[in-house]
Structure 1
Amino acid sequence: MSETTSDIGDGRAAPAFARREIWGVLAMSLGPVLAAFVLSGLILLLMQVNPFSYYGYVFGRGLFSPTGVQATLTRMGPLLLLAASLIVAFRAGIWNLGGDAQFLVGAVFAAAWTPLMVAHVPVWGALLAGMAVSAGFGALWGLVPAFLRAYQGLNEIITTLMMNFLGLSLASVLVKLVFLDPATTVPQTRTLPVEDRLPTLGGTTISSGLLIGLVAVLAVHFVMTRTAFGLRLRVVGANAGAAVHAGLAVPALTVAVFAISAGFAGLSGGVAILGQYGNVRADWNPAYAMSVVPLVFLARFNGFAAIGFVALFSILSIGSESAARRMGVPNYFTLVTVAILLIVLGLAEYWGARRRQKAGV
């Protein structure tokens, strides 16, 4: 009897195959990250910057500095909510690329109303209401592309990107004209006092928005992998035609996915304002949503893996601010790394698809 036959017979082939699958997933997830770091390092060399010194400052600030670690964990809260938003949409086969506008719309309304509510209701009530407002307006902003996709068959990539431009402009107009703080010369909303913001954790400066983000990602992961509702969404994402033949209400599920996804994105904006920034200035756009897209793909839409990749991005974004001051590298160089990561990820997916095609899988 051959070794292969023996392995199958005694049950050792299945674990070996599972191990190969795990290593394959790790290679497809971590390989692009390492390649992006190497290519970014080459760009730094062309800029006459020592990449080892740069990455040393980045990770030193984001991982080993107490203030840097706290800033990293605080930033993770809104990013995790955006990851939850994208996981819901992508698992259902929907490309919600309007997260930045949904984030900003939610942030603006939360920043405008919460300082007014604090004066009339308990702080915890104002914060809960502010988060509900941000999630609600984020969800409303996602309904236009939702109905266009569900009932008109329009490509949501185009409509969500168009709604992004409209949302960014609307947020700026609202700040400058409708929600302008009359007490300031800089166009911005009223500022929520520090003592009225989301509570911090354990005597640190870490916003409790981190816990909200963690709960959201883990809840989405559970719903999408362990519930009947999540199964229906995955079926729609895998094959909408088959879902129709199976009797699923595809248009209604499409609208529901958009509302949930956009609601999480809006809540992300609310948590960023209520836990960290306190107000929204005109023309402010951190562009978090587009930065989280490659992280969710690297995580293969897995909630636990998404937490790790969001943590890595937070370390990079916080650490790059320190490295920029010390080494003269532009503060947006992290976005260059993310762009390279997207390109490498696309190439890796193409290579993986070609391998599966050749293998007849």
Structure 2
Amino acid sequence: MNHLWRLCLPLLLALVAGGLVLVILGKDPLAYYFYVLDRGILSWGGLQETLTRMAPLLLIAAGLIVAFRAGIWNLGGDGQYLLAAVVTAALAPALIGFVPRGLTLILCMLAATLVGALWSLLPAFLKARYGINEIITSLMMSFLGISLANVLVKLFFWDPATTVPQTRTLDIASRLPRISGSNIHIGLLIALCLVVLVHLLMTRTAFGLKLQVVGASPAAARHAGLKVGFLTVATFALSAGLIGLAGAVEILGVWGNVRADWNPAYGMLVVPLVFLARMNGLAVIGFTFFFAALMIGGESAARRIGVPQDFVLLLMGLVLAFLGLVEYLDHRHQMRAAA
């Protein structure tokens, strides 16, 4: 099957199936998709929101690409993201009065990267030392991280000047600079650069090749003399560090604080984008733009035609289902061709 069709067909099938669901609900699918395009891409304000939303999604995608190419399922992204976001939200207002703005932003992003990496060490150690399935341990650490983030906001970082449990707010002037007078912050440029660097790391360096060998066959990697345990821990740390950085970029660029029980749950949402892009760092940029536009435009479209805002999640579920179907059919086609 043509490679481009393998990329685009699941999206097209999901949009068609989503349109049929809207028809069954008595809604106009063409109107829904028009509103998505109008709000998410065609209007300048919507395009700015779409590009801004891309920044954390791209960084999470970069982290997942590192893990998945190494054969490691880091599904603890939501916990890593939230803990890093809370630490950033607590640290930035405390530093800004004593440290220059630029240094404050850099220190907060480094701290968030470190927090994300540290939160992944237990699943990494259990995987490297005892071979325990990282799907289970990373998901458990994600739930713990989400709960711990809420505890930190409610007990330790609660701004006493507010009645709602939230951290102190970083003023707008102290947040990430905007690009050319727009509402798009430079976190998008940081994310784009890091996605490209991750792509080059995984496809053009000896370290990336070692990770892919470990992912393809740990036994063969050991036979080749690779330090599988060290590479496993390094992969987890790099993957979770990038996801933690995503939390910092979102707080420093958009929100300025974290409220209790806030959880955008981006971690699992980005997984199908990474697989649609075949874990290619360059291709994932396009899919992330598509999904960000769908999220921004879908919120407006849902209100206008009267469907739940979670309809976007249904579309993503359909994309994932059709991705699996296309892969299955393509595999059968290849098997018949080989026979």
Q: Equivalents in 2 of 1:278, 1:78: separation in Å?
A: 14
RMSD of aligned residue pairs (Cα, Å): 1.0
Distance 2:22 2:102 in 1: 47
Q: Which residue of 2 aligns with 1:88?
A: 66
- Per the TM alignment, residue 353 of structure 1 is displaced from its structure 2 partner at its CA by 2.3
Partner of 1:291: 269
| Residue-pair matches, total | 339
How far did 1:325 drift? 2.1
Aligned to 1:118: 96
Q: Does 1:302 align with 2:258?
A: no
Aligned amino acid, residue 287 of structure 2:
F
| Alignment match of 2:120 (pick from 142, 153, 157) | 142
Q: CA deviation at 1:358?
A: 2.9
TM-score by length of 1: 0.92
Show CA shifts across 1:136-170 (max 9, x none): 10111111110011111011111111111111111
Aligned to 2:87: 109
Structure 1 residue aligned with 2:247: 269
Alignment of 1:172-187 (within 5 A): 172-187=150-165
Q: Name the structure 2 match of 1:198.
A: 176
Paired amino acid for 2:180:
G
User: One-letter code of the match for 1:84?
Assistant: A
- How far 1:352 sits from its partner (Å)? 2.1
Which residue number in structure 2 is paired with residue 164 of structure 1?
A: 142
Q: Equivalent residues in 2 for 1:13-52 (5 A)?
A: 24-52=2-30
Which whole-Å CA distance do the structure 2 matches of 1:360 and 1:252 have between them?
38
Match runs of 1:216-231 below 5 Å: 216-231=194-209
Q: Which residue of 2 aligns with 1:213?
A: 191
Shift of 1:324: 2.0
Shift of 1:350: 2.0
Larger CA Rg, structure 1 vs 2? 1
> Alpha-carbon deviations, 1:317-347, whole Å to 9, x = none?
0001111221112112111101111111112
Secondary structure of 2:137 counterpart? helix
Which residue number in structure 2 is paired with residue 3 of structure 1?
A: none
Q: What corresponds to 2:46 in structure 1? A: 68
C-alpha distance in 1 between matches for 2:4 and 2:170: 43
Give SS of 1:266's match.
Answer: helix
Match for residue 346 of structure 1?
Answer: 324
Tell me, in whole angstroms, the C-alpha distance in 2 between the residues paired with 1:358 and 1:251. Answer: 39
Tell me the distance in 1 between the aligned counterparts of 2:7 and 2:137: 29
Instruction: Measure, in 1, the Cα distance between the counterparts of 2:137 and 2:50.
Output: 33
What secondary structure is seen at the aligned counterpart in 1 of 2:63?
helix
Q: CA deviation at 1:233?
A: 0.6
Structure 2 segments unaligned to the other structure (5+ residues): none
Equivalent position amino acid for 1:146 in 2 = A
SS at match of 1:303: coil
- Tell me the equivalent position of 1:318: 296
**1:233-248 map, 5 Å:** 233-248=211-226
**Deviations along 1:240-293, whole A, 9 cap, x unmatched?**
110000000000000000000000000000000000111111111101111110
- TM-score scaled to structure 2, two decimals? 0.98
Aligned match of 1:334 in 308, 312, 318?
Answer: 312
- 1:357 Cα offset (Å): 2.7
CA–CA distance in structure 2, aligned partners of residues 61 and 206 of structure 1: 16
Q: What is the distance in 2 between the residues matched to 1:345 and 1:302? A: 16
CA displacement at 1:348 relative to structure 2: 1.7
1:351: Cα distance to partner? 2.0
Shift of residue 51 of structure 1? 0.5
Note the C-alpha offset of 1:116.
Answer: 0.4
Distance 1:69 1:309 in 2: 15
Quote the offset at 1:47 in angstroms: 1.4
Match of 1:14 in 2: none
